[in-house]
Homo-oligomer: A and B are copies of this chain.
Amino acid sequence: MKFSVLVEVTLRSGIADPEGATIERALPALGFTGISSVRAGKAFRFDIDAANADVARDQALSLADRLLSNPVIEDATASVEPVS
């Protein structure tokens, strides 16, 4: 069965995020108010052929830890949806 996976890689809390801070500083000049806690990260989308959603999620998180993120400073989460 085929699953569509989104892996979101974000900096761990406590790790400085200059990109997010710069975006947040630019918001008032663009007229945006009420936006806070901006964090910048990476998003990876791919398809996995797997027996079920749990297997697909395990494989995605293993891939995230080994290739897509730096576990020392980044957290990775995976969301899995069946492809119709």
Residues of A within 8 A of B (CB): 6, 8-10, 20, 23-24, 26-27, 30, 32, 34-50, 59, 62-63, 66-68
Q: Is the CB of B43 within 8 A of A43?
A: yes
Q: Is the CB of B50 within 8 A of A39?
A: no
Expressed in whole angstroms, the minimum distance between the Cβ of A27 and any Cβ of chain B is 8
Q: Contacts A63-B32, A67-B30 hold; do A45 and B49 have CB atoms under 8 A apart?
A: no
12 additional A-B residue pairs with CB within 8 Å, beyond A23-B44, A37-B47, A40-B44: A9-B43, A10-B43, A20-B46, A27-B67, A30-B66, A32-B62, A32-B63, A35-B46, A38-B45, A41-B44, A42-B42, A43-B43
